[in-house]
Amino acid sequence: MAERRYSVGYALLPKKQHSFIQDSLVTLACSRGVDLIKIDQERPLSDQGPFDCILHKLYGEDWRRQLEDFRARNPDALIFDSPNAIERLHNRISMLQVVSELKIESRTESFGIPNQIVIYDKETLFDEKAWTRLKFPVIAKPLVADGSAKSHKMVLIFNHDGLNKLKPPIVLQEFVNHGGVIFKVYVVGEHVKCVKRKSLPDVSEEKLGSLEGSLSFSQVSNLATNERSDESYYKLMNLEDAEMPPQSFLKDIAAGLRQAMKLNLFNFDVIRDSRVGTRYLIIDINYFPGYAKMPCYESVLTDFFCDIFHGREKE
């Protein structure tokens, strides 16, 4: 009897499709009985398939309705992930609330999120009473985190003068010195992989007094492209010297987030608080990130598909 093959229909925006659906992934998945099939976004989803699984990163009411219709007609098909679950990550406040709800036991490490407030209007922005919980420098991030270029535009604010350019609604997050290293933790089902990236340089108390206004950037891990980044700082800093957070600790956090958010495909950004070397702060969570930047992403994703399909067979 021929071995059962499984079909994964994918619906992604062109840029995401170009980076994720590479020949290396398609070939490996195919060799293990999993066929990756492009969903035609010009045709109703219910007219396509059959699919054992839908992999998607599209938004909007029309797409949501199509997924609901597909699920009604194909109750056994899997959808990664539910639009309702993904939506929580589109707001930078609700995104990190879930971290505060996690209960993870560790004798040595602790975790949390930086102090942050949401600002909805200019009045609150310049009202010092609203600032009692925060101290400079702070990072201003758009409240909406929908993956667009606009949602990645952030500003490091050194003092009150730097607030003038900001346009609410925004989230103000206290900047915590973290040795210029950010840990990006990729989650694919039960698989957890951590990589190191260069980040914003530390800001000392002495230096803070001499810095003016603000510094704009897009993503914390893309700082090397910024003209005003401190070149000598990056030359001195050896990324290899940065110690990774304990893998078991990261796996516990990832499992807690998966369960709480009901998501399988995401990453979270972690920094190590320079003041307390065993304290880690989660500063961002992203749905369906750039997995192609993760080492061996092809085998990780293929294992994920095989695990879910073969796991269902055993049930």
Q: Is 17 one of the annotated binding-site residues?
A: no
Q: Is 174 one of the annotated binding-site residues?
A: yes
Compute, in degrees rounded to 10, the torsion defined by CA atoms 86, 91, 96, 98.
-50
Q: Is 141 one of the annotated binding-site residues?
A: yes
Q: Is 70 one of the annotated binding-site residues?
A: no
* N-term to C-term CA, the chain: 21
3-state SS assignment for residue 55 = strand
- Category of 196 on φ-ψ map: left (φ > 0), alpha (ψ -120 to 50) or beta: beta
Please tell me the distance from the alpha carbon of residue 26 to that of residue 29, in angstroms, as a whole number.
5
**Residue 70 CB: number of other CB atoms within 10 A?**
22
Q: Is 57 one of the annotated binding-site residues?
A: yes
Q: Is 199 one of the annotated binding-site residues?
A: yes
3-state SS assignment for residue 270 = strand
Give the containing element (helix H, strand E) for 197: strand 191-198
Q: Is 248 one of the annotated binding-site residues?
A: no
**Both tokens assigned to 230:** 């401190």
3-state SS assignment for residue 68 = helix
Q: Is 286 one of the annotated binding-site residues?
A: yes
Strands 181-188 and 78-80: unpaired
Q: Is 277 one of the annotated binding-site residues?
A: no
What are the distances in angstroms from CA 178 to CA 27, 42, 105?
40, 46, 23
Q: Is 165 one of the annotated binding-site residues?
A: no
| Among candidate residues 121, 161, 122, 106, the one with its CA nearest the CA of residue 138 | 161
Q: Is 173 one of the annotated binding-site residues?
A: yes
Q: Is 52 one of the annotated binding-site residues?
A: no
Asked if residues 254 and 269 have their Cβ atoms less than 8 Å apart, the reply is no
Which DSSP state fits 91? B
**Both tokens assigned to 251:** 């796996």
Q: Is 249 one of the annotated binding-site residues?
A: no
Q: Is 179 one of the annotated binding-site residues?
A: yes
Q: Which residues are annotated binding-site positions for 1D-myo-inositol 1,3,4-trisphosphate?
A: 16, 152, 184, 286, 290
Q: Which residues are annotated binding-site positions for Mg(2+)?
A: 269, 284, 286
Q: Which residues are annotated binding-site positions?
A: 16, 57, 92, 141, 152, 173-184, 199, 269, 284, 286, 290
Q: Which residues are annotated binding-site positions for ATP?
A: 92, 141, 173-184, 199
